[in-house]
């Protein structure tokens, strides 16, 4: 899996893009890279774009592991919004499953979108 993390200077949110195939260890490394980046600060909105990610077979416990890891990484964040941008219906479904699992673990709002414009509108509202 490859990724890029940068700051959108116009709207002040972090953009984390990931693409290619991934493993669970790579996913954890990606989440850690976001939270340890120079751009991260408490309350800063985050857009995760996984439209180019090659979805591999995932079990529900894989989503729970990702959710647990994310919860541990940003558990102290109080007002963060996280927009997940999916590229297809399978990714959207996985994003929704991740959202439901994460709701009790992550202190921030998480929404899943198929459209980046709608995600941006919600993220910076």
Domain ranges in the chain? Answer: 2-123
pLDDT above 90 for 113: yes
Give the highest mean pLDDT range of 67-76, 84-93, 96-105: 84-93
Query: What is the signed CA dihedral for 5, 11, 13, 14, rounded to 10 degrees?
Result: 0
Averaged over 52-65, what is the pLDDT? 74
pTM listed for this prediction: 0.84
CATH (residue range 2-123):
3.40.50.10600
Query: What is the signed CA dihedral for 28, 33, 35, 40, rounded to 10 degrees?
Result: -160
């Amino acid at each position: 899996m490859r990724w890029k993390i940068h700051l959108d200077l116009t709207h002040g949110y972090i953009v984390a893009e990931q693409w290619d195939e991934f493993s669970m260890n790579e996913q954890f490394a990606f989440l850690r890279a976001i939270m340890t980046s120079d751009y991260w600060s408490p309350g800063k909105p985050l857009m995760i774009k996984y439209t180019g990610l090659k979805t591999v077979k995932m079990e529900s416990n894989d989503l729970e592991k990702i959710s647990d890891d994310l919860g541990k990484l940003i558990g102290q964040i109080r007002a963060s919004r996280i927009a997940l941008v999916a590229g297809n219906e399978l990714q959207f479904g996985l994003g929704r499953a991740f959202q439901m699992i994460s709701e009790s673990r992550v202190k921030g709002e998480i929404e899943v979108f198929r459209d980046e414009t709608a995600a941006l509108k919600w993220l910076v509202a």
